[in-house]
Amino acid sequence: MSLQGSSQNGRQTRRRTTATKPPKKKSPMRRFLWIVGILVFLIIAGAGCGFIGATMSDLPEVANVKPAASSQIYDVHGNLITTVHATENRLPVKLSQVPKDLQNAFIATEDNRFYSHHGVDPIGIMRAIWVNIAHDGVAEGGSTITQQLARNAFLTQDRTLKRKIMEAMLAIRIEQYYTKQEILEMYLNQIYFGQGAYGVQAAAHVYFGKNVQDLDLAQSAMLAGLPQSPNYYSPLTNYKAGKARQAVVLGQMVKYDYIDQATADKAKDEDLGLREKSEAAHSDNNASYFIDYVISEIAEKYGDDAVYKDGLKIYTTIDMKAQDAAVQAMHNLPNFYTDDKGLTQPQGALIAINPHNGYIVAMVGGRGDDSFNRAVLAERQPGSAFKPFVYLAAIQDGMTPGTVMDDKKIEFNGWSPKNYEVPIPVK
């Protein structure tokens, strides 16, 4: 009994000792850091709310479409060369007139969750981020069709945080105001396809010379691939890149079960029936090739809509007197024959550059009614153009036209020239 009592007294003593132990005091520094952290959070949250509130107040009404303004291109003397516009080249059509294949091609390529999201697609954004990280670059965008409509119809092409937030908020508002069918119809009539064509109807006329309702699967897939980079993927100026992009679109349609693989393969091999001459070519102007080059460069830097809708004044280095002389020089070349495309042969190209400042003063990209600009798009090795310099060096070294050279492998500090091998395209 005495041992048990002692044990109980010991436990009571420990309880009293524990109970009377003084609490730990909080460090003044720790308390200060907590207060600072809370204040910083509140400041950031307040600033964010204020920024979003200000952004929302700047949102346009979704019922008002931003009007397009013509851009003007000037020569080196400040004289107007041409006016670039899009308003006359937009032909609105009803969604019911747009082939289902063309609708599906756009949805599969640009926004496969179009009918599921409410303007902004978080899943699509995360997928785009993952794909871009995997490809170590921008391989896929996260903007929905509704966001693209918001940007093209109501906003500028500025790549700023405010514009992106406005784009997202405006997309949500558009989804509340319009049905999915109305949004898709506006988008298909708004989007830019290159060659001055806005909307699917104008694009069908420019590229295929037909109405949009008459487009087949192959042509629909080609058009659906253009908005990502209309100048680069245009089959009229870069057929190889256009066909590669078409294959990507068809692959997306297979992926999301709009068509089967056999149908996609058949469409890839189908003749597109492209127009031989682009309606966007400035055939009445001696500077047509230079104008197209300027448009391509401006569009690459500021976006296609900036050229055709934002009313730019573009001042260039071209001298129209030099340009007229260059065009006349190309006309004076002999005409040997006309090929099966109706082009005069031989073809040629000319670029005149001011050696003092590097300005392009004249540019001719070909002869005849051909929109292909050989001056900037025809990538060729210098080839025989270097022969006069080689012969001059040989003569200065004491050689004569009768000098015999041993055709054997030669090295320059470990480097040896090699023949150019044309890569075999993969089907």
- Does a structural domain hold residue 27? no
pLDDT of residue 272: 93
What CATH number corresponds to the domain at position 152? Answer: 1.10.3810.10
Q: Which long-range contacts (CB under 8 A, 24 or more apart) does 63-67 make?
A: 63/177, 64/154, 65/153, 65/154, 66/153, 66/154, 66/155, 66/309
pLDDT of residue 57: 53
109 and 222 share a domain? Answer: yes
List Cβ neighbours of 395 (8 Å cut-off, separation of 6 or more).
Answer: none
109 and 254 share a domain? Answer: yes
Q: What's the pTM value of the predicted model, to 2 decimals?
A: 0.52
- Cβ contact 144:122 at 8 Å: no
pLDDT of residue 350: 92
Q: How many CB atoms lie within 10 A of CB 366?
A: 22
Query: Does residue 197 carry a pLDDT above 70?
Result: yes
114 and 256 share a domain? Answer: yes
pLDDT of residue 269: 94
- Cβ contact 281:296 at 8 Å: no
pLDDT of residue 158: 61
264 and 311 share a domain? Answer: no
- Catalytic residue positions? 110, 384
CA distance linking residue 18 with residue 176, whole number of Å: 64
| Residue recorded with tokens 């004076």 | 332
Mean pLDDT of 170-174: 86
Percentage with pLDDT > 90 across the chain: 33
183 and 297 share a domain? Answer: no
173 and 203 share a domain? Answer: yes
CA distance linking residue 191 with residue 203, whole number of Å: 10
Query: Does residue 411 carry a pLDDT above 70?
Result: yes
pLDDT of residue 306: 85
Query: Which token pair is 193?
Result: 């396809």
DSSP line for 89-100? GB----GGGS-H
265 and 301 share a domain? Answer: no
202 and 315 share a domain? Answer: no
pLDDT per residue over 248-306, tens digit each?
Answer: 999 999 999 999 999 999 999 999 999 865 444 444 468 889 998 999 899 888 888 88
Q: Considering the chain, what is the average pLDDT of its residues?
A: 80
Domain count, the chain: 2
234 and 335 share a domain? Answer: no
- Does a structural domain hold residue 403? no
Going by C-alpha positions, the residue among 148, 164, 283 that lies closest to residue 228 is: 148
SS3 225: helix
Residue 311 or residue 216, greater confidence: 216
Residue 112 or residue 167, greater confidence: 112
pLDDT per residue over 25-41, tens digit each?
Answer: 556 676 667 776 776 66
Torsion angles phi and psi, residue 63, rounded to 5: -85, -10
CA distance linking residue 121 with residue 140, whole number of Å: 14
Query: Does residue 236 carry a pLDDT above 60?
Result: yes
- Cβ contact 289:365 at 8 Å: yes
- Does a structural domain hold residue 421? no
Residue 310, strand partner residues: 69
263 and 297 share a domain? Answer: no
Query: Which token pair is 149?
Result: 């409509």
167 and 242 share a domain? Answer: yes
pLDDT of residue 196: 78
Range from 14-28, 38-52, 208-222, 323-337 that averages highest in pLDDT? 208-222
Mean pLDDT of 4-23: 51
- Residue 264 lies in domain: 89-269
Mean pLDDT of 323-347: 86
Split at pLDDT 50, 70, 90, the class of 130 is low
Rg (CA), the chain: 33
253 and 335 share a domain? Answer: no
CA angle 170, 171, 175 (to 5 degrees): 115
Element (DSSP H or E) covering residue 278: none
